[in-house]
């Protein structure tokens, strides 16, 4: 069952998929419809899952699941991964590669392979105050508080 992402409890689980490019306005409209359709029908062993989503900066698809009502199972998680892989193919975009880093350069969101980000640290093109997106957060509360943070406050800090 589709719910408003902002109404999910803080302990709701989140999955963050970062795109290697920004989506166009037309793509965003289509993706929103596809995500809404998927989440409306998402189930675990025949029971509806209480889930919502948000899309941030035209490139992050964030899915939240209220597990206090029904928890995701292996099959339901597999179906969500297959859905995301379908989006990757349809829009010719990478959403699942965790070896890339997104960070802010002013108001622009940059996306780099981890190896390039490390080089930028050495070249002092980014620093521990650079705002990074910590896609390892696991629930809505962490997403609200610790997703968009200075590099010094995330797993990226090990590079400084």
Does position 79 have pLDDT exceeding 90, yes or no? yes
Final residue belonging to a domain, choices 68, 91, 114: 91
Question: How many other CB atoms are found less than 10 A from the CB of residue 81?
Answer: 13
Last residue of a domain, one of 57, 74, 91: 91
| pLDDT at res. 151 | 96
Looking at the structure, tell me whether residues 85 and 106 fall in a common domain. no
Q: What is the mean pLDDT of the chain?
A: 95
Half-sphere exposure of residue 59, counting CA atoms within 13 Å on the CB side?
18
Query: Does residue 116 share a domain with residue 67?
Result: no
Residues 10 and 68 in one domain: yes
Alpha helices in the chain (DSSP H): 25-41, 74-91, 114-122, 140-146
Say yes or no: 20 and 76 in one domain. Answer: yes
Strands 148-150, 131-133: parallel, antiparallel or unpaired by DSSP?
A: antiparallel
- For the chain, give the number of residues: 160
Same structural domain, 46 and 87 = yes
List all residues 6 or more positions away from 138 whose beta carbon is below 8 Å from its beta carbon.
13, 14
pLDDT recorded at residue 72: 86
- pLDDT score recorded for residue 30: 98
> 131 lies in which domain range?
100-159
Are 106 and 83 in a shared domain? no
- Report pLDDT for 147: 97
């Amino acid at each position: 069952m589709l719910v408003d992402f902002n109404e999910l409890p803080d302990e709701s689980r989140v999955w963050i998929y970062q795109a290697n490019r920004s989506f166009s306005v037309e793509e965003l409209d289509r993706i929103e419809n596809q995500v809404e359709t998927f989440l409306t029908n998402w189930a675990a062993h025949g029971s509806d899952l209480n889930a919502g989503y948000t899309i941030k900066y035209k490139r992050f698809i964030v899915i939240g699941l209220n597990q206090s009502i029904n928890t995701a199972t292996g099959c339901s998680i597999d179906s969500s991964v297959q859905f995301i892989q379908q989006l990757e193919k349809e829009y010719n975009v990478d959403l699942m590669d965790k070896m890339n880093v997104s960070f802010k350069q002013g108001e622009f969101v940059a996306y780099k392979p981890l190896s390039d980000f490390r080089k930028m640290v050495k070249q002092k093109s980014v620093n521990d105050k650079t705002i990074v997106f910590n896609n390892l957060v696991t629930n809505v509360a962490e997403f609200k508080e610790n997703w968009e943070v200075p590099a010094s406050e995330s797993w990226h800090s090990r590079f400084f």
